[in-house]
Amino acid sequence: MRLKSNIWVSAYLRRCQTEGVFGAVRHRGAEEAGAVFVKVSLLDGNAMLYVPAPQTSYDDGRPVDRFFVPIAPQPVPESAVEERLTKELRFDPDAWIVETEDRAGRHFLELAKT
């Protein structure tokens, strides 16, 4: 069984805080199983967006983990990230949006193996 989204987000923000990275919930989604999107602002007009990994990325031996994939290999303009997030919320209003700020782009997420 997977951790509820609200518990996962709280733990993730706590992890960011212990590393000295500011983070906040921008949109609260469904507490039980809302998808989580993580925006990492680089504070220079660019950002990275991490979205839930496709189900094919999950190993049957570890079905409880949350894996993410970046929408692009390099930072993109924040306006492009905001457009994507707007579309995601229109499609799934139960999604969570978490935003962090870190010039180094640290995200502390488990990325799916490609």
Taken in order of first residue, the domains within the chain and their CATH numbers are 5-101 (3.40.1530.20)
Instruction: Please tell me the pTM assigned to this model.
Output: 0.90
How far apart are alpha carbons 55 and 46 in whole angstroms? 28
Six token digits for residue 24 = 């906040």
Contacts of 29 (CB under 8 A, 6+ apart): 5, 35, 36, 92, 93, 94, 95, 96, 97
Q: What is the pLDDT of residues 45-78, one digit of tens each?
A: 999 999 998 865 555 555 557 899 999 999 999 9
Kind and range of the H or E run holding 6: helix 5-18
Residue 55 phi/psi, 5-degree rounding, is -60, -25
